[in-house]
Amino acid sequence: MATKDKDGNWLDEKGRPIPEQYIPATDKKRDALVERTFKKVVKLAEKIAEHRIEIEGSIDKYLEELAKENRTRENWKGNILLYNFDKSLVIERRINDHIGFDERLQMVKTLVDKWIASRLDGIDDNLGKVIAQAFNVDKQGRVNTAMLMKLLNLEIEDSEWKKAMRMLKESIIVKSSKQSTTFKRKVKTEAGETWEVIVLNFNDVPRPAAPAKKKEKDDGK
């Protein structure tokens, strides 16, 4: 329903009152369609958000009970796959960390440059490209996180290199973490069996705000 003033005039995007008799019929129909549709969409989003909390809570409870049964302490970081008995359904939970690096990254760069300079025979061209790309920054001054992490996986048996990689690992800071849950089911196609993702936009729906706690009644004391 369009926003109206006390006199029944329709208010446009700038808050200007427009008498209803001057509103074209097409505008009225469009307004009704959009308003009606949004009411349904908002209700659906709220329902999905409620189910998201319920589903994620049940997964967390299962994992906590599993850890207790096996007498282990787990923070369940990383990817987890939960299958049904016949392996036709799977819940995939991922926790993706958005990482950055503290001030020690510049010291890592100095150590790596020193290591390269100490190679009398030089270094492999491909390795040189990987290192250069890792420490390049974009126009916003951001480093190439993926390439820097790739350096940690290089198998280089050298004490100075390992020292630089230890410092690189210690410089990592987790800026934020995002949990995502995906639901897949096995379906048969002409090409054979394949996994089909059930599309819900589940992870993009914000969690509903926690209800405010009720104040305790004054007992008169």
Q: Each residue of 149-175: pLDDT tens digit?
A: 989 988 898 899 999 999 999 999 988
Instruction: Please give the distance of CA 168 from its chain centroid, rounded to a whole number.
Output: 24
The pLDDT score that the predictor gives to residue 212 is 60
Q: Would you say residue 26 has pLDDT above 50?
A: yes
Return all residues near 55 (Cβ < 8 A) that are at least 6 apart: 181
Mean pLDDT lowest for which of 53-67, 123-137, 194-208? 194-208
For position 78, what pLDDT does the model report?
67
What distance in Å separates the CA atoms of residue 137 and residue 140, rounded to the nearest whole number? 8
Per-residue pLDDT, 221: 45
Q: Name the percent of the chain lying above pLDDT 90.
A: 46
114: which 2 tokens?
């020193």
- pLDDT tops 80 at residue 215: no
What is the phi-psi region of residue 141: left when phi exceeds 0, alpha when psi lies from -120 to 50, beta otherwise? left
Burial class of residue 217, CB neighbours in 10 A (0-12, 13-18, 19+): exposed
In angstroms, what CA-CA distances link 5 with 12, 107, 211?
A: 11, 64, 32
List CB contacts of 165: < 8 A, sequence separation 6 or more: 151, 152
Please answer whether residues 186 and 88 qualify as being in contact, where contact means their C-beta atoms are separated by less than 8 angstroms.
Answer: yes
Tell me the two tokens of residue 204: 């993009």
- What is residue 96's predicted lDDT score, i.e. its pLDDT? 80
Cβ neighbors of 96 (< 8 A, separation 6 or more) are 177, 178, 179, 180
**Cα 163 to Cα 147: distance, rounded to the nearest angstrom:** 18
